[in-house]
Chain A
Amino acid sequence: MNIVVLVKQVPDSGSERNLRADDKTVDRGSANNVINEMDEYAIEEALKITEAHGGEVTILTMGPDSATEAIRKALQMGPAKGVHVVDDALHGSCALATSKVLAEALKTLNADIVVCGAESTDGRVQVMPQMLAERLGVAALTGARKLTVDGNTLTAERQTEEGFEVVTASTPAIVSVWDTINEPRYPSFKGIMAAKSKPINVLTLADLGVSPDEVGFAGASSAVVDANKRPPRSAGTKVTDDGEGGVALVEFLTAEKFV
């Protein structure tokens, strides 16, 4: 199995995140940039598949120069190599343009399965797997909490609002995973050392045959008009339970007409 895992570098959701004042894009300069958490589960699932069925895992990232760090981190877990799509013209790309570029990159990689996280912690848009499937004409099994590979048949269990459903498709396919699917491994010392020398192939828009005016701000299909920090919530009343804390809570809820 030839597996490609999509990895996105995002600002750490555990610290304050901002949009840049000048062009309203995600401020990466001031942020602690990390691998999107859900992608670690995608890497783990890909490694498990190749461990059981053979094959190789490739990490694919689109992002600025600094995203190389995310690829190296991902490679520490065990994948064989990385591909980094980087081009100044990509800055400001919308989801549609991003999917166009990633689809072109995937065409060069000939994957049986593409695995990705169900969402990124920065945008939380969740559309990339279906957008890529639409562009590539392959199956998309999204939101998997369990995945079974049997020859070229993939079966996934996916959480729904009502319960869960079981879906199936043949490779080539795109699978997106939630954090319920596995427990990502920690990189071993050996893995960390090995990652330093693993190949990362850098691709530009020209390499992929995508014109710069189809991406970035030039090719954007949506635009941010205005962005403002929401004023922080002001803390309200805090009481210490002196034996009547429950009553005080209900008095508050009654005053607010919830009881």
Chain B
Amino acid sequence: MSEVLVVVEQAGGAVKKVTLEMLTMARELGTPAAVVLGAPGTAAAVAGKLAEFGAEKIYVAESDEIDGHLVAPKAAVLAALIQRVSPAAVLIGSTQEGKEIAGRVAVKLDNGLLTDVLALDADGTATQAVFAGSTVVKSKVIRGLPLVTVRPNSLTPTPSAGAGAQEAVDVTVDDAAKLVKVVSRQAEQKGSRPELTEASIVVSGGRGVGSADNFKLVEEFADLLGAAVGASRAATDSGFYPHQFQVGQTGKTVSPQLYVALGISGAIQHRAGMQTSKTIAVVNKDPEAPIFELADFGVVGDLFKVVPQAAEEIRKRK
């Protein structure tokens, strides 16, 4: 069977969940082969996990140049690898960086590209959700091989041991790939909560939360459920919560098993980012709020009464 290349996303030596999902997906399409693109030492930290989830081979492309410049070197190395091994398909995470790598590879190889893919069939047919999940599209790359970016949380990753044989890849890139230098990277505190787009449960607060201080209530409830915290645009624009946690048309798209919306009216802007969630629970004091149209379970009430009571009830049951 031909190889299916999976571009590894990792942070600080931890493999991102979307990578494990892609390895799981790749097993159905061919022989999973992970591609590690990063600073020297990256592969050593992630190889075990990649093999655990089925990587038969691990292509290792490590250099300071890859790490010290924005995406272009990664795209150059990946494009060269694709040309060399002619894989059955190439899977990249549908994250900002993943899409950017994919876009450059598509141009380099004049190869069609599909983004935000939820599933990929063996014949190359991809499933995508467009217009905020309101329309489901089946599409195909018709020039080149299936080059797709996979939306996080599209499937459940399952372990399946692979050989994980490492092979070093040539990392020579020309100056055209080194035009944008990374000057510094700063981690922003995010504590122990799961990442928003990868979380199985997301608890979000909206305008109804009322203040940055009150968002502690949202965080507390999220922590009880082991959830990530999100916010509506109304909440981030009002400064209640940082912008990078915004869920919606102009923010993150999430598709967790459970989405809990607290004090969110459900403007289309917000629904665009969360309406493909499997289960939706809502607390809002306005019985006419459009968010109730999506809710599997809704409580019409004051979130400052309902949420503390729910938190207390969860503690009691634990």
Contacts and interface: CB of A to CB of B under 8 A. Distances in A.
A259 B200 CA distance: 13
B306 interface: yes
B248 to A, nearest CB: 10
A130 B11 contact: no
Contact of A126 (B115, B141, B279, B301): B115
Contacts of A160: 96-97, 185
A225 B306 contact: no
Interface string B126-159: 0001111111111111111000000000000000
A4 to B, nearest CB: 18
Nearest to A137: B176
B185 A165 contact: yes
Nearest to B127: A226
Interface string A142-171: 110100000000010001111111111110
Contact of B292 (A142, A238, A241, A253): A238
A250 interface: yes
A258 B257 contact: yes
Given A99-B107, A168-B183, A235 B292 contact: yes
B70 A223 contact: no
B139 A141 contact: no
A222 B70 contact: no
B249 A227 contact: no
Contacts of B296: 236-237, 252, 256
Contacts of A211: none
A224 B305 contact: no
A142 B138 contact: no
A142 B307 contact: no
Contact of B137 (A19, A130, A163): A19
Given A127-B99, A253-B281, A236 B142 contact: no
Interface stretch (B20-28, B33-41, B308-316): B308-316
A240 B195 CA distance: 32
B263 to A, nearest CB: 13
B244 interface: yes
A55 B225 CA distance: 53
Query: Which of A99, A138, A230 has the most B CB atoms < 10 Å from its CB?
Result: A230
Nearest to B278: A256
A94 B97 CA distance: 20
Nearest to B317: A259
A161 B195 contact: yes
A93 B235 CA distance: 37
A interface majority secondary structure: mixed
A256 B136 CA distance: 26
B106 A245 contact: no
A1 to B, nearest CB: 18
Contacts of B292: 235, 238
Given A163-B185, A167-B180, A19 B135 contact: yes
Given A126-B96, A167-B182, A246-B306, A226 B103 contact: no
B185 A245 contact: no
A230 B134 contact: yes
A239 interface: yes
A241 B302 CA distance: 8
B129 A249 contact: no
16 contacts: A96-B113, A125-B115, A133-B179, A145-B243, A161-B195, A165-B186, A166-B182, A169-B181, A230-B136, A238-B300, A245-B283, A245-B309, A246-B305, A246-B310, A249-B297, A258-B279
Q: Which 5 A-B pairs have the closest CB atoms?
A: A241-B301, A246-B309, A127-B103, A221-B112, A246-B310
Interface of B: 11-12, 70-72, 75, 95-97, 99-104, 106-108, 110-116, 125, 129-144, 176, 179-188, 190, 195, 201, 225, 243-244, 249-250, 253, 257-258, 268-269, 272, 275, 279-281, 283, 287, 292-302, 305-314, 317
